[in-house]
Chains A and B, each alone.
Chain A
């Protein structure tokens, strides 16, 4: 019962703040609400006994990515964006399409709700609970997912190189 209450509390906070993120005119407010969404999602992870994921969510998303967003906001002209039109002319079409999509997905999930219940995932087996969630994630990363884990480092290298390539100034020789 307590779990259910916690889930709905965190869920409501996450959804409401997510809507506020995209409807606020002021980007600083959007960033703050994004932080609230991320914290609420971390809370949901906690109720699922995924404490490692909850910690990573807070450290990486709130501590890293959100702070980056705020830095970028500091560098751009916030005042102008407040007065600019927030949506383009396709707003109505977009709203209708998203509404249809939401209804479809909700209907699909409702109809198929029985097939999604995986006992081993919702309630971790006793042995796994004894080892702890962080250890399990670590084991998975270094056994079943060793290869993708290593390729991810190349992915990050590509992203860093790309950011440098696109952002660096042209040298006089290139002009």
Chain B
């Protein structure tokens, strides 16, 4: 491979280039097209075309740009998660932004740019590329969180997320600079090679590992770096909360897999206890804090924290089952969680915010389809068969038992049991309480489409998971 730019390198990034092109078109069309919903449709077309380009690259496995970017099954699997999440988030935004009176072309452009950043994060096998992709995603997300400019909660959420995010990026960079100092290279494989040549207790590699882990635990909202999550998720526009809780989270986990399973894999005996402690704390604190919430957005924010804790089990197990479970769980979580958020978006009407559990009271009697769909998503989040969530949890917990982490598996199962309690608080409110108001849900075409797709996949993966498991396994087996 030449160190210079080659023409096939362009081919490796066509999906990303296409997203950038559409993002820039949107910025221009924003000035020409008064109906902003059309811009959303253009953005959806951009994502679809990007998906086509990605599909054409599906069987490739090579590294481009002198070895800073890998185009392997792992990155392609994650990139498809980002594209699906971005498309569904845009679909639920169309009507929602009209109600909030903040429908602007920049919104869709920023989602496309953020998605592009994520795609580079999933493909990066080099610290510099990874970090630039991460920042592109993060900066676009900070802005999107504060997109409801006249809403104080949104402003506050954006500010908090920005300050803490910038701080955590600084810590992450500190770890990266130490790794560079140790190895003299920014490539993950060179770093792993340099680390394996030093003693395990080398203080500098320990410091690099700890700062790097702290930065990444912040990005995936693991305890004790989770405090920003409920505020940011509550204040952000609900469609962006949905986007953050699936796409941003998946991108951060893709980055974690590359860092922990490649770059600092030689330090595994050192990071394993930290990871196990963080995983247990994240599951437990996330679930227990969710019990006391009366705001559904905050409750789902804590629930997303606890899900991050489950996914960390995959890293702790570290075998094939565990690593397969990470992308599989994130894939399932994308549909399940986006579906749940879509129902909450549908509850937002002109005069009703629709975020409190009380707002869902008697939803079944007012709007049976909405209530039944929400029930399916909540069952999946809780991990109850025959929904997809069960398959994801099953794989994670099985991986923990296979590798002898029995205590961890028991704690995880107990946590799954706790989570059923607060998910069913919503169910009880929807099915067993008197309706407090008469108005129904707002079903815009985009919302209906998202709900249909999310329900279809949540049930399909639940009853026929084999092809999806095979895809996830191929992603990690060939990727590592």
Q: Interface of A with B (CB < 8 Å)?
A: 105, 107-109, 111-112, 115-116, 118, 120-121, 142-148, 151-152, 154-155, 157-159, 161-162, 164-166, 170, 174
Q: Which residue of A lies closest to B128 (CB)?
A: A148
Q: Which residue of B lies closest to A152 (CB)?
A: B132
Tally the A-B contacts, defined by beta carbons under 8 Å: 105
A91 to B143, CA, bound (A): 30
Residues of B within 8 A of A147 (CB): 9, 13, 64-65, 68-69, 120, 129
Residues of A within 8 A of B136 (CB): 151, 154-155, 158
Q: B residues 106-135 with Cβ under 8 Å of A?
A: 106, 109-110, 113-114, 116-117, 120, 126, 128-129, 131-133, 135
Q: B residues 203-223 with Cβ under 8 Å of A?
A: 203-207
Q: Which residue of A lies closest to B181 (CB)?
A: A116
In the complex, B438 has a CB within 8 A of chain A:
no
A166 to B69, CA, bound (A): 33
A107 to B66, CA, bound (A): 37
| Stretch from B144-152, B239-247, B277-285 forming part of the interface with A | B144-152
Taking a contact as CB atoms under 8 Å apart, the answer to whether A120 and B129 are in contact is: no
Residues of B within 8 A of A151 (CB): 117, 120, 129, 132-133, 136
A170 to B151, CA, bound (A): 13
A164 to B105, CA, bound (A): 13
A146-B66, A158-B136, A162-B110 known; A107 and B203 CB under 8 Å?
yes
A78 to B65, CA, bound (A): 49
Q: Which residue of B lies closest to A142 (CB)?
A: B5
A121-B184, A158-B140 known; A115 and B132 CB under 8 Å?
no
Closest 10 CB pairs of A and B: A112-B204, A162-B143, A112-B203, A147-B65, A108-B203, A111-B203, A148-B132, A148-B128, A148-B129, A155-B136
Query: A144: which of B66, B109, B132, B150 is its contact (CB, 8 Å)?
Result: B66
Q: Can you report 26 A-B residue pairs in the complex whose CB atoms are below 8 A from each other?
A: A107-B203, A108-B204, A109-B204, A112-B207, A115-B204, A116-B182, A142-B5, A143-B4, A143-B66, A145-B68, A145-B128, A146-B66, A147-B64, A147-B68, A147-B120, A147-B129, A148-B68, A148-B131, A154-B116, A155-B136, A157-B113, A158-B113, A158-B140, A162-B140, A165-B143, A174-B102
A144-B66, A146-B5, A147-B129 known; A154 and B20 CB under 8 Å?
yes
Residues of A within 8 A of B205 (CB): 112, 115
Q: How far is the CB of A137 from chain B (nearest CB, A)?
A: 13
Taking a contact as CB atoms under 8 Å apart, the answer to whether B181 and A118 are in contact is: yes
Most buried by B among A121, A158, A162: A158
A146 to B5, CA, bound (A): 8
Q: B residues 72-121 with Cβ under 8 Å of A?
A: 101-102, 104, 106, 109-110, 113-114, 116-117, 120
In the complex, B453 has a CB within 8 A of chain A:
no
A157 to B136, CA, bound (A): 9
Query: A155: which of B3, B109, B132, B204 is its contact (CB, 8 Å)?
Result: B132
**Interface residue count for B (Cβ, 8 Å)?**
50
Taking a contact as CB atoms under 8 Å apart, the answer to whether A108 and B110 are in contact is: no
Residues of A within 8 A of B203 (CB): 107-109, 111-112
A5 to B275, CA, bound (A): 44
Query: B182: which of A109, A111, A115, A157 is its contact (CB, 8 Å)?
Result: A115
Residues of A within 8 A of B13 (CB): 147
Residues of A within 8 A of B120 (CB): 147, 151
A115-B202, A161-B109, A162-B142 known; A144 and B3 CB under 8 Å?
yes
Kindly list 15 other residue pairs between chains A and B, CB separation below 8 angstroms, not including A115-B205, A145-B68.
A112-B203, A112-B204, A120-B184, A144-B66, A147-B13, A148-B126, A148-B128, A148-B132, A151-B117, A157-B113, A158-B114, A158-B136, A161-B106, A165-B147, A166-B143
Most buried by A among B20, B120, B128: B128
Taking a contact as CB atoms under 8 Å apart, the answer to whether B102 and A108 are in contact is: no
Q: How far is the CB of A82 from chain B (nearest CB, A)?
A: 23
Residues of A within 8 A of B66 (CB): 143-144, 146
Q: Which residue of A lies closest to B183 (CB)?
A: A118
Residues of A within 8 A of B106 (CB): 161, 164-165
Most buried by B among A118, A147, A164: A147
A140 to B101, CA, bound (A): 47
Residues of B within 8 A of A108 (CB): 203-204, 206-207
Q: Which residue of B lies closest to A139 (CB)?
A: B3
Q: How far is the CB of B98 from chain A (nearest CB, A)?
A: 11
Give a binary string over B384-419; 1 marks a CB under 8 Å from any A CB, 0 the rest: 000000000000000000000000000000000000
Q: How far is the CB of B170 from chain A (nearest CB, A)?
A: 13
Q: How far is the CB of B106 from chain A (nearest CB, A)?
A: 5
A170 to B135, CA, bound (A): 28
Query: B27: which of A111, A155, A161 is its contact (CB, 8 Å)?
Result: A161
Residues of A within 8 A of B357 (CB): none
A151-B133, A166-B146 known; A158 and B110 CB under 8 Å?
yes
Q: How far is the CB of B53 from chain A (nearest CB, A)?
A: 17
A147 to B128, CA, bound (A): 9
Q: Which residue of B lies closest to A119 (CB)?
A: B184
